[in-house]
Structure 1
Amino acid sequence: MDAIPPTPPSRGTSPQRFASALLGLLQGHIALFAEEFKEQQSHTLSLLVLASMSLLFGLLLVIGLSAALLIVFWESHRLLVISGLCSFYALALLSALIALLQRIRNAPAPFSASLEELTRDREQLLP
């Protein structure tokens, strides 16, 4: 008698295994996307709170210092102080806008880990 090697137990037909593998990949990608979304949301909220507080206290400081300068120089050089303060504020505004535009242009793409994972999977699946 010929000994027939035992065949490994099948887990289903080939299309079923392919669909199962595809669903497994999809589940992993969705979980990664959800985790990155949560992290992005938390990071954005904390940045918003800190930026709002910084803006509020910065404006209060600017108002206080401007008022102090105007009070000190009210009798002698009030117009010079007012025009100097306005020039300083205009330069500060322009520099802040330039820095903001540079950060927006150079910001990393959101969900980059998910996109990299999808690219790796596509490269592995397609010859």
Structure 2
Amino acid sequence: MSDSTSSPRPLHRLAAAIVGLLHAHLGIFSIELEEARERVLRTLILGVFGAGLLLLCLVSFAWALVLYLPHTSRIAMLAIFGAVFLLCGGICLWLAWRGVARGPQPFAATLEELRRDRERLL
């Protein structure tokens, strides 16, 4: 009789420990998810506004310079501005892609905690 009452206790403790670990991991995961969401949203908003304002500035300066030049060289100047803007835009997109590819791994703390738990259990 004592064997049947003592065997569920370790199983209950093991189940409680597993539920506790899952609860802790979900808590860490939710915090990291919220931080990642806020960082991405802030970066996106600032990037869009900054890029829009810089675009307006560049277009204004380009048109001012084109209108300042004599009529005969305006087409050439527009082509040069187009090439420069294309080159700058390509460099910006390349740097953005490189930043995304080399950025920190999302949910690194959660993955590290899961790795440590697996080592402890084994």
- TM-score of the two chains, using structure 2 as the length reference: 0.87
Q: Quick one: which of 109, 117, 123 aligns to 2:119?
A: 123
Report the residue type matching 1:55 in the other structure. A
What per-residue deviation string (whole Å, max 9, x for no partner) do you get for residues 94-121 of structure 1?
A: 2112212211221222111100100011
1:76 Cα offset (Å): 4.5
Q: Quick one: which of 18, 30, 35 aligns to 1:34?
A: 30
Give 4+ residue runs of structure 1 displaced > 4 Å after superposition. none
Output the CA distance in 1 between the equivalents of 2:70 and 2:110. Answer: 60
CA RMSD in angstroms, aligned pairs only? 1.6
Report the residue type matching 2:49 in the other structure. M
Tell me the equivalent position of 2:47: 51
Q: Quick one: which of 65, 68, 73 aligns to 2:64?
A: 68
In the alignment of these two chains, the number of paired residues is 116
Tell me the equivalent position of 2:3: none
Tell me the equivalent position of 1:21: 17
1:18 Cα offset (Å): 0.5
What per-residue deviation string (whole Å, max 9, x for no partner) do you get for residues 73-112 of structure 1?
A: 1434212211210111121122112212211221222111
1:88 aligns with 2:106: no
Percent sequence identity is 30
In our comparison, the structure showing a higher alpha carbon Rg is 1
- TM-score of the two chains, using structure 1 as the length reference: 0.84
1:42 Cα offset (Å): 1.0
Q: Choose between structure 1 and 2: higher helix proportion.
A: 2
Q: Return 5+ residue gaps in structure 2 as ranges.
A: 1-5
Q: Which has the higher contact order (CA 8 A, sep 6+)?
A: 2
Output the CA distance in 1 between the equivalents of 2:95 and 2:70. Answer: 34
